[in-house]
Each structure stands twice: as structure tokens, then as C-alpha cells.
Structure 1
Amino acid sequence: MKTLVEEKFSDFFEKWVCELEENVQQLLSVSTEKPNEAELQALVSRVTTHYKEYYTVKWASAHEDVLAFFCPVWLSPLENACLWVTDWKPSMAFQVIDTLRKTIVVPGASILDMSEEQVKKIEELRVKIRLEKEKVEREMERQQVSVADRRMVELARLASRVRNGDGMGRVDVLVEVALKGLLGGLERVMKAADCVRLKTLKGLLEVLNPSQCVDFLAGICTLQIRLRQRGKKRESQKENRMVEEPKLV
């Protein structure tokens, strides 16, 4: 059974993905045309605003129930398997860039035909993001270790000795205080990871020109949508197999 936060965010996420699909269609259609720079920038701004809305709602919901985002019920097992601290991996954005640079559309030119200066800036950003990612991972590890730190162990030992009465109530209060600290730490780690994701997108979009931004956003949004479609398809096939399997009488 879903919690209230899970229910509300699941509804929001479904609508958000539907709007993302609409944005992808526009990105793909405009990439085959020859719009002016102002039109390209307006479209890029629309997509980035859509992502900002996602994180605004995510952070507000996580403040109520951060654990829901460490095991999101609105995602398929396949999508969950690809997560890094509650969301997509920053390295995925660079992989999209690398793939687009290797995709040749005309002899001597790729979809993302970048200058040497752009390539240099992206490599510098890649290194910077990798360092920030490692910092988040160290903090996440620290939070996980804190579950088994001395205070939590002492609480567990105390709880095992107390059978009932006022003593148990005191233990409950102490456990609640400890868990509140842990959940607050997880919320900070999640936000830090999201900031790395947003810095990745912002940094790449600042390096690319408007036309390249459109191609990049089309690529990364399409990847996210395809992963979701594949994950839901696998779940549907799994459910069908379970229904079709003969039952032992």
C-alpha cells in the first residue's frame, strides 16, 4: 500500500513524464527544421523549466518522506536498478554527449559537431562532476555507517533489556530522535546528488550552442523515456507470465 507522499508523487510523476514526451516530440521535430536561435532558446528553456519543476516537487515531497525516494514505487525495477542516490546518474549525460559525437549524419560531421574549445570545456566539466559525485558518495556512505554507529548500537542494547513500562517509552523517544537525524542526513545527501545532476545539465548546456542543446536534450530525454517504457514492458510481461502459469491443485 502506498503512503500519501508516494501516491501524490506517483500521480505527479506520470503527468510529468507525459509532458516530457511532448517536449521530446518538439525537440525532435525542431532538430529537423531550421528555426531561428530565439526559437531554439525558448524550447531549451521550456525543457529545463520542466526539469526544475520536477526537482521542486521532489524536494518538497522528500521533506515529508525522504525514504520514499530511496525506493521509489513509481519506477519499475529496471529504472530503480539504474539509479544513483534516488535519480539518474550524472555520467549518463556525458554518455549521451559521447554517443551524439560518434553518430555521423553526413561525411565528416556528427550530430554534435563540436569545436576543440567545446570538447575541452566538456572534459573539464566531466572531471569536476566526477569529483562532486565522489563527494556525495562518501557522504552517503557516512550516513549508512551511522545506522550502526555507537549510539544506535547502545539504543538497540537498551531496548533488548527493557520489557515494558516507562523504560520502553524512553527508548522509543531516543530511537525517534536518532532516526530523525538519519532521515535529515539522507535528505541532505539526496539534495546534494540532485545538485550534481542539475550542475551537469547546466554546465553542458552552457558549453553547447542552441542547436546542439536541442540535440542533447532530445537525446537524454529520449533515453529516460525509453528506459521507462522498457521497464514497464518487462513488468507487464512478468505479470502476464504469472497469470498464465498453471496452478497446482
Structure 2
Amino acid sequence: MSFHRFYASWFDHLNHLVHQLTLAPKPTTPQDNPALLQLVQKVISHYSQYYRAKSVAAQNDAVSLFAAPWSSSLERSLHWVAGWRPTIVFHLIYTETSARFESHIADILHGVRTGDLGDLSTAQLHRVSELQCETVREENEITRELAKWQEGAVELVEAGGDGNVEEKIGGLMSVLVKADELRMRTIWRVAEMLTPQQAVEFLIAAAELQFGVRVLGLNHDNQRENV
């Protein structure tokens, strides 16, 4: 199966998993909820499957993954190293936390715990902030590696058809693998910091952002084709 077909199948199943998340009943206790935890693990495993398949595809043709023909123009415009920028996770967390906090502020002021993303503890916020700083550092290092590879474009052209071309493309694959490992690690570590209910809400918000960008991008491309 080509990666293009794999992605279409994977994306459809992500929709199915997110539907399961949205139907999951709200837990009576914030911590102890094996059913929700199992759902969270299923979704994270699904993301892991995507990056494993992408890694295999990169070994065959890393350049095509940067072109990402299965993505819309809008999606490609938002890509960082052939995928989403890891630090966007933290902007998403802060946005969701702020929105939910404001919607439940009356309850919170009366000491009622909502248990959702608007109810992150001080310790959780501190851990999220620390991970954000760590992720920014790793993201910047990968960006520098990609820039260094791109600066060698002259050498790539001069190499022509000799064996050095494959070696230089291998360097691009190495950068891509590091970026995907950071993306997957960021999802996993953020989910670990949250309660099962909060992790469900985080994964739903992340997927809905992905769905929303894809729909907007496909609509935009269709409009351009019809002009």
C-alpha cells in the first residue's frame, strides 16, 4: 500500500476513534477511569502507527514526504519538517484551558472541581511549561539541522548522478525522523501529564484542529480548481 492510501485509511480511522472519545461518558472521579485510559491509549497507539508507517516510507522516498501530495495546499503551508510543529500542542493546551476555565469560572470560584482541561493543577501547568521549553529547544535544533542540509543544496546538484546523492538524501531522512519522534513524544508526554478525562479532551481538540484545517484546505483547493 502506498503511503497516500495508507494516510487516507489512517485518517478515516482517526475520525472513528475521535467519535468514540466524544461519546465516552464523563468519569465520576478524575483519576481512576480505566475505560477512558484505554481509549486514550488507543488513539495514541494510532498516532504511533502513523509515524511508524511514515518512517518506512521515508526510507524509500523521504523527498516525497516533504511534498506531501495527500495534503491540501493549506496543510502544506502549515508544515514544519513535513508535519505539524510540535509546539502547537502547547498553544492548543493553553487555549483549551483558558476557554474551559472561563466557562466554569463561577463553579471554580465556589470550589467546585470540574476535572476538565480548565481545571489543571499548578503542578500540571508547571510540568506543561517545562515540557514546552524543552520542546522549543529540540524543535530549534532540528530546524538548524534542516537549514544546514538545505545550505548544502549546491553540493547536492554538483553530486549529479553519483552515489553521493543518496547519501545526502539520507541526511534529509534523518532530520525527518527526528522531527516525527519529537511530534510523537510530545503527544505522549502531554497525555501522561493529564488525567484520563483531560487527555480525552486534549486528543479531541487536537484531532478537531487537524480535521478543521483539512476541510478548509480541501475546500480552498476545490474552489481554485473550479475557477
TM-score for both structures, normalised by structure 1: 0.81
Match for residue 34 of structure 1? 27
Looking at structure 2, the residues matched to 216 and 25 of structure 1 have their Cα atoms a distance apart, in angstroms, of 14
The CA RMSD over aligned residues, in Å, is: 1.8
1:207 — aligned with what? 193
5 Å-filtered alignment, 1:84-103, equals: 84-103=80-99
* Alpha-carbon separation, structure 1, partners of 2:207 and 2:61: 27
* C-alpha distance after superposition, 1:62-87 (max 9, x if no partner): 10011001111000000000100000
Pair 1:44-2:40 in alignment: yes
Cα contact 2:21–2:200 (8 A) shared by 1: yes
**Aligned residue in 1 for 2:111:** none
Deviations 1:134-181 (A, max 9, x none): 1101111111112224xx57x47xxxxxxxxxxxxxxx5xx4322112
Instruction: Say which of 216, 219, 231 aligns to 2:217.
Output: 231
Aligned residue among 125, 131, 139 for 1:133: 139
Offset of 1:126 from its aligned partner?
0.3
1:65 partner SS: helix
Match of 1:116 in 2: 122
- Decide which moves more: 179-188 or 100-109: 100-109
1:53 partnered with 2:49? yes
Alignment size in residue pairs:
214
Contact 1:24/1:218 (CA < 8 Å) preserved in 2?
yes
Q: Point out 4+ residue stretches in structure 1 off by more than 6 angstroms.
A: none
1:8 is matched with: 2
With the length of structure 2 as denominator, give the TM-score of the two structures. Answer: 0.88
Q: Which runs of no fewer than 5 residues in structure 2 stay unpaired?
A: 109-113
Find the counterpart in structure 2 of residue 73 from structure 1. 69
CA contact (8 A) 1:17 1:225 kept: no
Equivalent position of 2:162 in the other structure: 176
Which protein is bigger by CA-based radius of gyration? Answer: 1
Whole-angstrom CA distance in 2 between matches of 1:216 and 1:33: 14
Structure 1 match to 2:203: 217
Percent identity for Structure 1 against Structure 2: 30
SS in 1 for 2:71: coil
